[in-house]
Structure 1
Amino acid sequence: MSTGLETQLESLSVSEPQKKENAERKKTEEMKLGLKPLAEKQKPAKEEGRLVNIETNIRKISVDPNQRLYQYSVSIYFVLNREDGSEMVLEMSKSTRRAEEHEQDKERCRDVYEKAVEQFVELREGGPFFYDCQSTLWALSKIPSEELEFSVTEVVCTRRNFIRADFLLKAVESVEISTSDILRTASRCPGLADRRLLDSLAIIISEEPHSRQNVMTDGNAIHYMINDGVGIRSLQFPEGNLSSSVGAAKSLRLLDGSNDTPGLFMTTEMKTSLFHPTDEPLISVLKTFQGFHLTLSKDTETARRITEAMKGMILYLNYGPFVGLGRDGVIVKLTGFGLPPHEQTFTVGGERVSLYDYFWRKYGIRIESDQLMTVETVNKSGRKDYFPPELLLVYRHQKVTGERMINNESRDLIKLAAAPPHVRRETTDRVVEEVGLSSSRTECISISNPTTTTGRVLEPARKYFGNEENPRSFFDPMSLKNWVIVFYEGEAVRGIDRILVEEMRKNGMVVAPPIIDCIPRGQLDPVFIQAKQAQIELIVFITKKFYDIHDWIKAKEQEYDVLTQEIHFETAQKVLRGKKDTLQGIVNKTNMKLGGLNYFVQSKHLPVDCFVLGFSHSQKSYSDSNIATIGFSSNSMNHSHKFAGGYVFVKRSKDLFGGVISDVLRKTLKAMKKNREKPSKVVIYFHGLADSQIALANEVYSQKCLDCFSSLKSTYTPELTIIASTKSHNERLYASENGRIQNLEPGTVVDTGIVSPVFNEFYHAGATTWQGTTKTTKYTVVYSSEVVDLQKIESLTNDLCQDHQIVFTPTSLPTPIYVATESAERGNKILRIKNGPILKENGEIDIDGTNEQYGYKNKAIGETRFNA
């Protein structure tokens, strides 16, 4: 049996000329973006809102003026013997491997660099020097020699076929920057920003955490404490022997600063992550799972749970020539489980042998767990290999991904991180101190305490309900004449139909009594078939929470094109006991699903001719990793405050939105024209864009929108505003009143001090935070066909957070984004119920077919708020 070792090592070799050519071409294509300026920066809005003091987790970085920083390229090659006696050269200093394997290569480079420091006096007496453990070294003084080159043959690698490591350091020509180049780190044209100063300072600041024995660095951005020493409770999960660690993430940016003086700042945010055990035998980890025994088969439910908890884990080989290699051990990735060693066979030298016999013959190893399923891995060539779990070790400091959290790990992690604002702020500062980010080992940098700024609390828009005769009624109540309530047999909730009808009528709806239907458990299709034939307007399912059939109901809703609503049996019982808020929530949903409007938000920034569209994507993956779900939502219905949503499946790529913008925009604009009027103003939010995609939105997305307008009518040129929004940032903002740290009030806007000096940027807290610390949404006005009025955009965003309609309190995201995100999640769940996307005969994903069968594009209820 091949261990895949040679194949694995070959994959680390220097790229072939063709690969280099492709990489250069790709880089050139990407450089075409970012040369067009974003919307011109306007002065922050100051007219509306009550001023509040804001404390942050953002620290000012002060640098000595005119300090020169010199860049050097580092090349580190490992030379090893092949089995045929020839040499193999691997470049470690430009590792393209991912995650744990990449960190492994960085550690190798650090060891070689430290040997180089011992070798060359220039690296001991000059500098100081700061190495990124890959191909870049920064220095605060010039190295006298143009090149430094040597080879090392010991200590840095324990592999038996290791010959030597070659080290080469060269000055990078024409690369000399100064700390006075601060303003060049940001530009209205993102592609013209010179980030070298930021990159060099990030490496310099990371030097202290790298030097601390109790700190483990993930990439160059997050520094975790191996042994928590700041009083934070560590979570332990017996199954899998998982434990949590706390760390601090850092990011550097040019910000406005105080008194309109831009400066460099570092955000330091607390991170809590879950980790697998380090260097523990895999067999020991398997034994921690409930139901495990030494004769466990891969086809059992217990094995399936273990696969879910371990799929994708990185493991070391730990037998024969691979024992004791430590960091240099051969890595494999767990993909599943196979047959026991006596039954798992493969061909060696033309002979069919079992895994058990192979290990005895080749290594003299008697597999003790010979009745236990084996571990399935896939090597670089795509071939599956199998190993006994007793001969594998868990790779060290390995994060537990969300997909591997099979119990309540994710929920408990959220609870652990959901500290009150004063606790989170204090804990973050302690963690930053412990990992070494609050200090620097150089004289040219000093890092301040977290900075403060000011914000404004915008007044919430007024809500209007009903009319003078019935002020409790909905603003636009719907009728419901033909509907059905479905129970499982023997589980009807008597009287719930009467209470629902009475409450709907009190809210102004015209409602007839429902049909009551009791069905055998799990028999959903007949209900939908009969409802379709009888032209039922709404099916209300009332079932016990334990059955967990919500996703199945929604999949059938999409398939049969019939609106549904699920009420848990336990919730219905609360209604019977007089829970008015619970009852109101049910009725709110019903009216919205039917196309009504529960209340009217009086927003002067959302006139009837203003079209608002939100795009978002699902953060979770319920299916094939090669497909993504894009959600969208717009006010294209018959009222400017009615938002309907949908979703589209796309092939996963760096640009998730680009392929759907034109079709979605055209469809929703036509719907608005049919339902109300042709809009003169168009506002589009793209939620979840990374900073690196801002130029894409400014240049590509804006042009797609303009092309869409002209395709509808050559003279059609509505005012267009494009806004990027994200919660994937590390900034934490706290309200400060009389020295007391607390959460931000809903409607708090911050657009000074800690925002970009070149982009129109603001932070907004939409909702009340009932648990933990407020996480604001960051907005960037990317494109505007008119002069940006930041105050109007901030107020519109704040008003849209009041417009959810199901709940009367504000939401953390504007309704078009909120509904778009929920729509994307709906699409993902349906894809999971359907066992993945439609496939072509050749096995490729059929995107068009998947959208046709699993989407709402051609469904009548697709133009309603079906996922209310």
Structure 2
Amino acid sequence: MEISSSLPPIIINSDQASRRDYAITTRAGLGRTGSRIELSSNHFNVSVRQPDVVFYQYTVSITTEDGKDVEGKGIGRKLIDQLYKTYSSDLDGKRLAYDGEKTLYTVGPLPQKDFDFQVILEGSFSKRDSVVFDGGSPSGTCKRSKRSFLPRSYKVQIQFSTKIPFKSTLDTQRRVDTPDKNAHDPLRVLDTVLRQQAAERGCLLVRQAFFHNDKNSVEVGEGVVGIRGFHSTFRPTHGGLSLNIDVSTTMILKPGPVIEFLKANQNVKLPRHIDWNKARKMLKNLRVKASHRNMEFKIIGLSEKPCNQQLFSMKIKDGERAGETKEITVYEYFKQTYTDPTESAYFPCLDVGKPNRPNYLPLEFCSLVSLQRYTKALSGWQRASLVEKSRQKPLERIKTLNDAMGTYRYDENPFLAGCGISIEKQMTLVEGRVLNPPMLKFGNNEDFLPRNGRWNFNNKILLEPRAIKDWAVVNFSFPCDISRLSRELISCGMRKGIEIDRPFALVEEDYQYRKAGAVERVEKMIAKMQSKFPVDPPFFVLCVLPERKNSDIYGPWKKVCLTEAGINTQCICPTKINDQYLTNVLLKINSKLGGINSLLGIEYSCNIPLINKIPTLILGMDVSHGSPGRASVPSIAAVVGSKCWPNISRYRAAVRTQSPKLEMIDSLFQPVEDTEKEDNGIMNELFLEFYQTSNKRKPKQIIIFRDGVSESQFNQVLNIEVDQIIKAYQRLGETDVPKFTVIVAQKNHHTKLFQARGHENVPAGTVVDTKIVHPTNYDFYMCAHAGIIGTSRPAHYHVLLNEIGFSPDDLQNIIHCLSYVNQRSTTATSIVAPVRYAHLAAAQFAQFNKFEGISEDERVPDLPRLDKKVASNMFFC
């Protein structure tokens, strides 16, 4: 039975699609190809002298004297610390590892399974000393809180939960066939110890990383500072247990006077220029220290009136009217009681009270406390500044990590020492291999062998150039001579083998719209274009944007062109017009128009092992979530699929929205009866594209590259997403199930590789599949790209399934080759091209609609569908 786009879908029952339960594959062997290289890694070997140690896990419950639950890691840690000092003998002197919430661990059992302790914290206070306006009554009353340093009592219950034998982790190192599912539990205990140790030093904790203020902090503008810390975690590896330490950076708000912070945050020179509506949003929930009483408060908002007008009622203490109330401004109160708040007299006050009981402090008495995380997304120039200022060359990073091992003395921790743990002070040495680069094929039958993962198009022509006819240039007010730009582009195209006609029109934005909103500017530009092309729209449009990074016009422009007008488009913002810049632009344009810039030599000659003889579909899958601070924004799932088999360089993308934070892609298969729209799901789209471009062949093998999932989600990828792909395949009339090879590609990990001899980054093509890899699972590290700036981060590939039967060398070779096929790049990429393409497609669609957050019961809004004239193109290049 043949598939065609006009054929109605064959509906099958979910029961008809034989669901398979896949298990994660184990290591099939080691790679052998490539030249040997000695490396070191930021893993430090761990020795365990007491492997039979058993950890005991206990549940912690903390309440006040009146039975109210106490939450908050800060108070919890203080209480457990005080509990240990007070009741150490009752606990048999055992050290406690506490996670700050509801769990603690010990080495061996406590004397009994249940405890009820009364813990008294000295120096706690019940009310804070400040001006409180009680809005609960019409007239209002002032409650002048007196600082109370009376001890406060808490009830702490500790109850036995379970045993965690350390041996389960150590046995996993040796047991391949039946790895222990609980092997990570002892590591969670050890990681809790590391976090507790950092908390005792007053560090900011972010998952398994800790941060402190030091001289290496970098300012990135708008009152935001990047501070350096360390990620540290215990990991089971092929060479034994190891401690993985890496340099990490997080963003905090610059501590100091609140007024100075607001000036920096809003890029204004004088306090009177501060936008107080923006300030209210920025300051909410931040902590400040009040200089007049040396106390900390949490900001809930700003006063409605300035300090010198904001009234509250206070009781009169002395004189004939003692006991009565009077109205007084915050300004007058602080002037009489403390000192004159002249600088902030005309500014709002900080409200540090409760929603119905405001508590006002003048701005100039308040400073932001240190180590408060900044969780919003950084702007483009902030990210660039952070990268520029925080990068480290390999030798510098090695020194930083070795110094950290000496400074923090992890294995001197009493809890770890009680486990018999010792940690080597030197990095783990490991043997790697450097794979040979693949041969590339250019136009005029030219072969080229890249050097250290790099090449260029100097004196070369594109393999399959596409002529550019019926095109136009539009300029959104960028100061650019677009006539010269078009001439230079035509000239450069001729040198690269691309035939480019003169543009039909050069369209400049009308001056009066330059300050309008982005959507309106795009609408006016499209209308102006239509007046130039009254019958048919141009085949291609070169769009000159007004800003280089994060232009508001980009999303609306792409949306109109790709989903409504069906126009291929390339956006640029040329600060310097030269051959290199124009060549890079032409590489993107040629890919979007269906051309091929270069191919792998083995691809050109149809000689890719296990792929060239059996129709093989390659998928790249990624899910993009809302930026920090926008967690309720719908997530965007993007999947790219290869086409024109046996090529592995050309792809089509399919993109859908899904529920916020959902990592598993839920639109791969869409039962017809469950949808009101004619959307059969992502895979239906990609299967049809493969069939129509591959000589009416259906894929018999599918290679999946999945990005962005953690180890805990591997089984979901195999048993949810693969199952959906099988259902989509069978709905098209197939009873057989294709063979799968499923690989997870991770970039967000903390393993670094360094040359054991030399101070440069590891060479392009470096692979490590021994010693620091997982003890049983099939994984390896590959640094396909050349690290020019900072320290290279290898990609971590996990092979979850290998039904196709790739040998380790064949699999590593094809992954290496797929890092050389990105059509918009002249370097090997750090991650395989299908994953990179999926990420780009999701990012571009995310610009189409500025989605607002949605509630749980709301339907996730759909994305617009691509126009059929551009749907098959590599629009994401």
The TM-score range, normalised by the shorter chain, is 0.7 to 0.9
Residues 829/507 of structure 1: CA separation in 2 closer, same or farther (3 Å cut): same
Structure 1 residue 136 displacement after superposition: 3.2
Match of 2:346 in 1: 371
Bigger Cα displacement from structure 2, 548-557 vs 412-421: 548-557
Residues 332/76 of structure 1: CA separation in 2 closer, same or farther (3 Å cut): farther
Aligned mates of 1:339, 1:701 — CA distance in 2: 56
Q: Deviations over 1:666-709 (max 9, x none)?
A: 21011110111322211111111112211211221121122222
Query: Is 2:704 the partner of 1:684?
Result: yes
Q: How does 1:797-812 map to 2 (within 5 A)?
A: 797-812=815-830
Amino acid at match of 2:97: F
Match of 1:418 in 2: 391
Q: How does 1:569-584 map to 2 (within 5 A)?
A: 569-572=574-577, 574=578, 579=579, 581-584=580-583
Bigger Cα displacement from structure 2, 149-158 vs 243-252: 149-158
Tell me if structure 1 keeps the 8 A contact 2:312–2:330. no
Query: Is 2:372 the partner of 1:398?
Result: yes
Residues 379/669 of structure 1: CA separation in 2 closer, same or farther (3 Å cut): farther
Q: Give the total of aligned pairs.
A: 769
Match of 2:135 in 1: none
Tell me if structure 2 keeps the 8 A contact 1:528–1:560. no
Tell me if structure 2 keeps the 8 A contact 1:475–1:597. yes
Structure 1 residue 439 displacement after superposition: 4.6
Match of 2:97 in 1: 130
Structure 1 residue 146 displacement after superposition: 4.1
Match of 2:27 in 1: 41
Amino acid at match of 1:763: Y
Structure 1 residue 774 displacement after superposition: 0.4
Tell me if structure 1 keeps the 8 A contact 2:299–2:350. no
Match of 2:461 in 1: 473
Partner of 2:637, secondary structure, is strand
Tell me if structure 2 keeps the 8 A contact 1:122–1:144. no
Q: How does 1:108-187 map to 2 (within 5 A)?
A: 108-122=75-89, 126-155=93-122, 157-160=124-127, 163-172=152-161, 175-179=163-167, 181-184=169-172
Q: How does 1:640-719 map to 2 (within 5 A)?
A: 640-660=648-668, 663-676=681-694, 677-719=697-739
Structure 1 residue 307 displacement after superposition: 6.5
Match of 2:642 in 1: 635
Query: Is 2:772 the partner of 1:750?
Result: no
Query: Is 2:812 the partner of 1:794?
Result: yes
Q: Deviations over 1:495-553 (max 9, x none)?
A: 44344334434434344322132322554222453558423110113466479454453
Residues 227/720 of structure 1: CA separation in 2 closer, same or farther (3 Å cut): same
Query: Is 2:738 the partner of 1:729?
Result: no
Partner residue of 2:213 out of 222, 226, 234: 226
Query: Is 2:250 the partner of 1:273?
Result: yes
Tell me if structure 1 keeps the 8 A contact 2:40–2:754. yes
Aligned mates of 1:455, 1:641 — CA distance in 2: 28
**Structure 1: tracts of 5 or more residues without a match:** 1-32, 81-86, 93-104, 258-262, 348-353
Residues 644/376 of structure 1: CA separation in 2 closer, same or farther (3 Å cut): farther
Partner of 1:615, secondary structure, is strand
Bigger Cα displacement from structure 2, 188-197 vs 720-729: 188-197
Match of 2:39 in 1: 54
Query: Is 2:619 the partner of 1:613?
Result: yes
Aligned mates of 2:283, 2:180 — CA distance in 1: 39
Match of 1:30 in 2: none
Residues 342/538 of structure 1: CA separation in 2 closer, same or farther (3 Å cut): farther
Tell me if structure 2 keeps the 8 A contact 1:661–1:701. no
Aligned mates of 1:226, 1:438 — CA distance in 2: 24
Q: Deviations over 1:75-123 (max 9, x none)?
A: 242316xxxxxx351144xxxxxxxxxxxx2232222223222332436
Tell me if structure 1 keeps the 8 A contact 2:644–2:650. yes
Residues 648/317 of structure 1: CA separation in 2 closer, same or farther (3 Å cut): farther
Partner of 1:730, secondary structure, is coil
Tell me if structure 2 keeps the 8 A contact 1:721–1:783. yes
Amino acid at match of 1:616: D
Q: How does 1:838-857 map to 2 (within 5 A)?
A: 846-848=859-861, 850-852=862-864, 856-857=865-866
Residues 542/267 of structure 1: CA separation in 2 closer, same or farther (3 Å cut): same
Match of 1:264 in 2: 241
Match of 1:541 in 2: 543
Partner residue of 1:861 out of 834, 854, 870: 870
Q: Deviations over 1:148-174 (max 9, x none)?
A: 4321334173234985211233444x5
Structure 1 residue 191 displacement after superposition: 8.8
Partner residue of 1:625 out of 627, 631, 645: 631
Match of 1:566 in 2: 571
Q: Deviations over 1:221-265 (max 9, x none)?
A: 22223345xxxx43246753x5443221112221111xxxxx211
The structure with the largest alpha-carbon Rg is: 2
Partner residue of 2:489 out of 500, 512, 518: 500
Aligned mates of 1:543, 1:220 — CA distance in 2: 40
**Structure 2: tracts of 5 or more residues without a match:** 1-18, 128-147, 314-325, 448-458, 515-523, 671-680
Aligned mates of 1:142, 1:194 — CA distance in 2: 20
Tell me if structure 1 keeps the 8 A contact 2:545–2:554. no
When normalised by structure 1's length, the TM-score is: 0.78
Residues 475/66 of structure 1: CA separation in 2 closer, same or farther (3 Å cut): closer
Amino acid at match of 2:536: A
Aligned mates of 1:293, 1:722 — CA distance in 2: 57
Aligned mates of 1:250, 1:640 — CA distance in 2: 39
Partner of 1:709, secondary structure, is helix
Match of 2:235 in 1: 253
When normalised by structure 2's length, the TM-score is: 0.78
Q: Deviations over 1:383-415 (max 9, x none)?
A: 999986557653542122342x46844323222
Aligned mates of 1:567, 1:36 — CA distance in 2: 46
Q: Deviations over 1:286-310 (max 9, x none)?
A: 35554365555647xxx64x578x3
Structure 1 residue 859 displacement after superposition: 4.5
Aligned mates of 1:338, 1:650 — CA distance in 2: 40
Residues 756/164 of structure 1: CA separation in 2 closer, same or farther (3 Å cut): same
Match of 1:483 in 2: 471
Aligned mates of 1:479, 1:138 — CA distance in 2: 68
Q: How does 1:309-458 map to 2 (within 5 A)?
A: 310=282, 314-315=286-287, 326=296, 331-332=298-299, 340=306, 369=344, 371-373=346-348, 389=363, 394-403=368-377, 405=378, 408-437=381-410, 439-441=412-414, 442=417, 444-448=420-424, 449-458=426-435
Match of 1:285 in 2: 261
Aligned mates of 2:74, 2:528 — CA distance in 1: 61
Instruction: Flag the structure with higher helix content.
Output: 1
CA RMSD of aligned residues (A): 4.1
Match of 2:451 in 1: none
Partner of 1:512, secondary structure, is coil
Aligned mates of 2:359, 2:872 — CA distance in 1: 50
Aligned mates of 1:439, 1:163 — CA distance in 2: 34
Aligned mates of 1:844, 1:340 — CA distance in 2: 41
Match of 2:6 in 1: none
Bigger Cα displacement from structure 2, 109-118 vs 183-192: 183-192
Aligned mates of 1:625, 1:190 — CA distance in 2: 36
Partner of 1:565, secondary structure, is strand
Amino acid at match of 2:871: G
Structure 1 residue 745 displacement after superposition: 1.6
Structure 1 residue 595 displacement after superposition: 0.6
Aligned mates of 1:790, 1:783 — CA distance in 2: 13
Structure 1 residue 795 displacement after superposition: 1.4
Query: Is 2:537 the partner of 1:524?
Result: no
Aligned mates of 1:71, 1:293 — CA distance in 2: 58
Aligned mates of 1:362, 1:423 — CA distance in 2: 51
Aligned mates of 1:496, 1:680 — CA distance in 2: 47
Amino acid at match of 1:755: V
Query: Is 2:503 the partner of 1:514?
Result: yes
Partner residue of 2:63 out of 62, 71, 78: 78
Match of 2:560 in 1: 556
Aligned mates of 1:79, 1:796 — CA distance in 2: 61
